[in-house]
Amino acid sequence: MTPSLRLVRRQAGPTDALPSTLHPVLRRVYANRGIRHAEELDLSLNRLHPPDGLPGLAPAAHCLAEAVTAGHRILVVGDYDADGATGTALAVRALRAMGAQHVDFLVPSRFTHGYGLSPELVAAARRLGPELLLTVDNGVAAVAGVQAAREAGLRVVVTDHHLPGAYLPPADALVNPCLPDSAFPSRALCGAGVVFYVMAALRRALTSRGWFDPNRPPPRLAALLDLVALGTVADVVPLDHNNRILVQQGLERIRQGRGNPGIRALLEAAGRDPARASAADLGFAAGPRLNAAGRLDDMGLGIRCLLADDPDQARALAEELDRLNGERRRIELRMRQAAEAHAAALPLDAGALPPALCLHAPDWHEGVIGIVAGRLRERFHRPVVAFARGQDSLLKGSARSIPGLHVRDVLATVDARHPGLIRRFGGHAMAAGLTLAPQDLEPFRAAFCRAVASALGDAPPVAEVHSDGPLSPAELNLETARALEAAGPWGQGFPPPSFDGHFELLDVRVVGEHHRRLVLRAEGMRRPLQAILFHAEDRGWREDAASLHLLYRPEVNRFRDSVALQLHVQHVLPPEPEPPG
């Protein structure tokens, strides 16, 4: 039941305008990603888009400036994922640095409040006595919650980056680059990125009011860019030029030892060297540990880690987050094994999977279903919705989609065709959340599969993997790996380089049950190459193969005092068809 796989080689673009000083492979890689001018490689801070065109920025800065100068109580209402946590910590740090006297934060519980600024969360917030609510990474869909806050006499500033629905909340100010009237050049900002711009506008508004003086100087907000970098990478938003600047600037602070103590502690807890931090380290090491708090416990733990100035305190909190992440991984493994067994037992038509998978088990954990849906999406290349029973006895679903299918639009189609079937839903193209009554699971499964089939057409989806082409024997070396490592940052929408080539398999060793360590010989090379293949059963591994067509990434492998080239194999590609005749 492994999905069909198709190799697509990226079309090489012109490299003439790119600096000749770049490594030749890197010039080709950048051109393949649409880079046409050297200016697009400039990731200095002064290349950031100015805030002009960001909807709601001036009213938001005005409301916040009034609250700061009047000494009002400000409550930052975040979200329980890494983007929400980093944005919340950024807002709290920035507001306090600008002289706000009473700043606190509140994050909804995934299990009792659900997502965003709900009326129930407003009731909890009022017990803290705020006069202004500032949402981070949520709020554009919180029509009822914002209305409840306004009726209680609170001012509300919403900062969000999610797609708006049919109705906007009645906030005092709403900042979102994805609003229909937005003229901001980058709609790809994450929640932490949006609030960074809001804090910059607030600093400008306070400056114009004469708020700052020698005893209260304006803060350097660039010091908070490592929080923006972590939120941007962890939320998997596209790395357009503006986001690459934000990520690169944040990474440089981390590498120089000037970053947030909590982020440094998270990286160290994962065994990563902050001095060599990469976007991948943020996405696969720091981000999951931060997210573990919101998935299994209380994201307040993660935010306190990011607010800690004392390294020892940050380290203690990061160790607790690391423990939670280990627990999350064990829960996820049990759930994923059960889900894969369920998928394998599905009645298949001519050996084909259904157009979508909707899975549920009574003992599944609500905080982990999104990860399980994502893993199954990768495994079967089908849109997946995984459900768990919430504390209110309703089914909470997390959907993950495949390229070419806007899953929120599919849910909207189901909702329009079957009014009342879905209690609540929201999200974006690749991920969404929804709530069902337990008795509606089977009707929803049928309706969702029909809507997906209608959107995708009759042909089953084929998983595509993309390559920057082959590397010549002269290019397959440590120098190339170093050049690629120093480049980037790589991520969503600006993928890390991948290459494909044919290799002779000289030796293979099982590592950790599911992984393989390979010794290869490339065509035209005498020297053997070391390679690693993780999760081999999901990557097309064939035990009887003597020669392999591989999709891989050259990496710098550091072990103790040695440095060597290693190929990180991403897929064992299916044999190429024989030419006709």
Q: Residue 581's CB: how many other CB atoms inside 10 A?
A: 3
Domain 465-572 matching CATH 2.40.50.460: the answer reads yes
Give the span between the Cα atoms of 356 and 410, in whole angstroms: 11
**Exposed e or buried b for every residue in 195-234, given b needs 16+ CB within 10 A?**
bbbbbbbbbbbbeeeebeeeeeeebebeebbbbbbbbbbb
Which CATH code of 3.30.70.3290, 1.20.1050.10, 3.20.20.70, 3.10.310.30 fits the domain covering 347-461?
Answer: 3.10.310.30
Prediction pTM value: 0.91
Task: List the domain boundaries for the chain.
Answer: 52-324, 347-461, 465-572
Give the span between the Cα atoms of 314 and 183, in whole angstroms: 39
From first to last of the 581 residues of the chain, give the pLDDT tens digit: 455 688 899 987 788 889 989 999 999 999 999 998 899 999 999 999 999 889 999 999 999 999 999 999 999 999 989 999 999 999 999 999 999 999 999 999 887 787 889 999 999 999 999 999 999 999 999 999 999 999 999 999 999 999 888 899 999 999 999 999 899 999 999 999 999 999 999 999 999 999 999 999 999 999 999 999 999 999 989 999 999 999 999 999 999 999 999 999 999 999 999 999 999 999 999 999 999 998 888 899 999 999 999 999 999 999 999 999 999 999 988 988 888 887 777 665 545 678 899 999 888 999 899 989 998 898 888 999 999 998 788 999 999 999 889 999 999 999 999 999 999 888 778 889 999 999 999 999 999 999 999 999 877 778 889 999 999 999 999 999 999 999 999 999 999 999 999 999 999 999 987 899 999 999 889 899 999 999 888 888 888 888 999 999 999 998 888 899 999 999 999 876 555 54
Q: What is the CATH number of domain 52-324?
A: 3.90.1640.30
Q: Residue 3: its pLDDT value, please?
A: 58
Give the span between the Cα atoms of 263 and 86, in whole angstroms: 10
DSSP string, 462-520: -EEEEE-----TTTSSHHHHHHHHHS---BTTBPPP-EEEEEEEEEEEEETTTEEEEEE
Q: Residue 174's CB: how many other CB atoms inside 10 A?
A: 23
**Fold identical between 52-324 and 347-461?**
no
